[in-house]
Amino acid sequence: MAGDEFSELLGQLKERSGLSYGVLGKRLHTSTSTLHRYVNGDAVPTDYAPVERFARLCKASPEELVELHRRWVLADARRGQKAAAPITADDESEATPEIEPQPEPSPEATPAPAPEAPRPRRRTVVLAGVAVAAALVSAALVANLVPGKGTDDAGGQRTVGAGAPSVGASPGVSKSAASKSASPSGSPSGSPTSSPSASRSRTAGTGKGGSAVADGATAPAVDVNPYKWADPCGPHILIDREPEQVPPPPNEPDARGWNAALGGVTGGEQMVALTVQGTGKATVVLEDLHVRIVEKSAPLTWNDYRMHDGCGGGVDTTAFDVNLDDGRPLVSPRSGQRGFPYKVTESDPEVFYIFADVRSYNVSWYLELEWSSGDRHGILRLDDHGNPFRTSGNVGRPAYIHPNGSSAWERNEYEPEVPG
């Protein structure tokens, strides 16, 4: 079972670390009983962030981190399927209240019309129908199967964002999204009102005609995380503020809210993590991945802030590079990696890491994933909450770091070099 495999790996990491539940709980700010439930397989975390912190605290390797994420995706989906179990006929009959017999009317009084016997039954059926609808809605939210309304030859154009998706997006970008990306104030791609933790989205498009296909040949679900950190020091973030106006750097799970509050834009290189999973019985072929440029302008002249250590672990399994400075940037596999196509199923997801590098421009961009399953195919737009990703060159910008134990930002001796 997927949940058993997930908890089994958690247990192995915990035992190997030699740390007690008490120590782990204090460092993770989590109760020991909650950790017991995770490791024993009695519960699955609703968000991956605490799982990743647990694994890193237990010194998990990059390969183990990838495998743990894969098992968590499967366990999370399995939990959603259980939560969406339909109400059976027996459940409905048990929920039907008994109808109390009505007393005989007094011959001296005017008899009141007796309530119709079927009325409580009808009411119960309606309540049962509401419960079924609620269960189905819950299952849909867990699976995040959101139909779109775009068009292409057969499968349609769909949008998948890191959080609430934009449904029915066209191959271009909305005016509001374009205005945000081109705004001189540098408002970030994510919404300023988003949660402080990095949000997730497992959203799938649909087949031709905007409805799910009975044989399971549907678009894959894609989790988009544009706030993934690639190495122990985290990314560079460009912010239009002086150091004394910038709070200490966040941990990776809190990067979205921190960036949104400060209007931060990733500088130099941005890492985007994509977790792709089938949503039906059929195998889905991931045909290709394309880069789409919305706008290019001069790089931002803001201060460069380097995130502190204690974050990522150098994960680069199934990694691809994108040079946003190119006129027509391509997704290129890193040395030793193979390119597209790939195959995914509901029980066998795939994780991709996209490293987008830029030096000479401020770029608004997104990705398009081509998929097919049998005679059906389509395109998914991958972006950040319906807005393009934003990445700006940071060459020659004033650079700052926040050393561990320090109470303030300090000027960094190293600054991004001008390309030769």
32 shares its domain with 175: no
Total Cβ atoms within 10 A of residue 91: 13
Model pLDDT, residue 24: 87
71 shares its domain with 163: no
69 shares its domain with 160: no
Model pLDDT, residue 231: 65
Model pLDDT, residue 269: 92
76 shares its domain with 183: no
275 shares its domain with 394: yes
> Which of these ranges, 44-53, 74-83, 301-310, has the smallest mean pLDDT?
74-83
Model pLDDT, residue 266: 95
274 shares its domain with 361: yes
Tens-place pLDDT, residues 344-375: 998 889 999 999 999 999 999 999 999 999 88
Domain count along the chain: 2
Model pLDDT, residue 3: 60
60 shares its domain with 201: no
Say how many Å lie between the first and final Cα of the chain, rounded: 54
The average confidence (pLDDT) of the chain is: 72
Confidence grade of residue 53 (pLDDT, cut at 50, 70, 90)? confident
153 shares its domain with 79: no
Instruction: Give the percent of the chain with pLDDT over 70.
Output: 61
Tens-place pLDDT, residues 134-145: 444 344 433 443
Confidence grade of residue 34 (pLDDT, cut at 50, 70, 90)? confident
Domain enclosing residue 8, as ranges: 2-83
Which two three-digit tokens encode residue 177?
């999204």
The answer to whether the beta carbons of residues 346 and 278 sit under 8 Å apart is yes
Model pLDDT, residue 416: 52
> Which of these ranges, 16-20, 296-300, 412-416, has the smallest mean pLDDT?
412-416
More confident residue, 40 or 26: 40
Confidence grade of residue 27 (pLDDT, cut at 50, 70, 90)? confident
Question: Among the three residues 37, 67, 83, which one is the final residue of a domain in this structure?
Answer: 83
262 shares its domain with 379: yes
Model pLDDT, residue 80: 66
Which two three-digit tokens encode residue 151?
């068009």
Tens-place pLDDT, residues 214-255: 344 588 999 999 988 876 667 899 999 999 999 999 888 888
Q: Which residues contact 109 (CB under 8 A, 6 or more apart)?
A: none
Tens-place pLDDT, residues 391-411: 999 999 999 998 877 889 999
Q: How far apart are CA 196 and CA 43, in angstroms?
A: 24
What does pTM read for this prediction? 0.55
| CATH number for the domain harbouring residue 29 | 1.10.260
**Maximum mean pLDDT: which of 45-59, 129-143, 262-276:** 262-276
- Whether residue 88 lies inside any domain: the answer is no
Q: Which amino acid, 193?
A: T
The side-by-side arrangement of strands in the sheet containing 319-323 is: 203-204, 221-225, 269-277, 350-357, 319-323, 332-333
Would the pLDDT of 285 be above 80? Answer: yes
- Whether residue 101 lies inside any domain: the answer is no
Would the pLDDT of 385 be above 60? Answer: yes
Q: How far apart are CA 269 and CA 262, in angstroms?
A: 19
Tens-place pLDDT, residues 117-159: 444 444 433 334 434 444 443 444 334 433 333 334 344 455 5
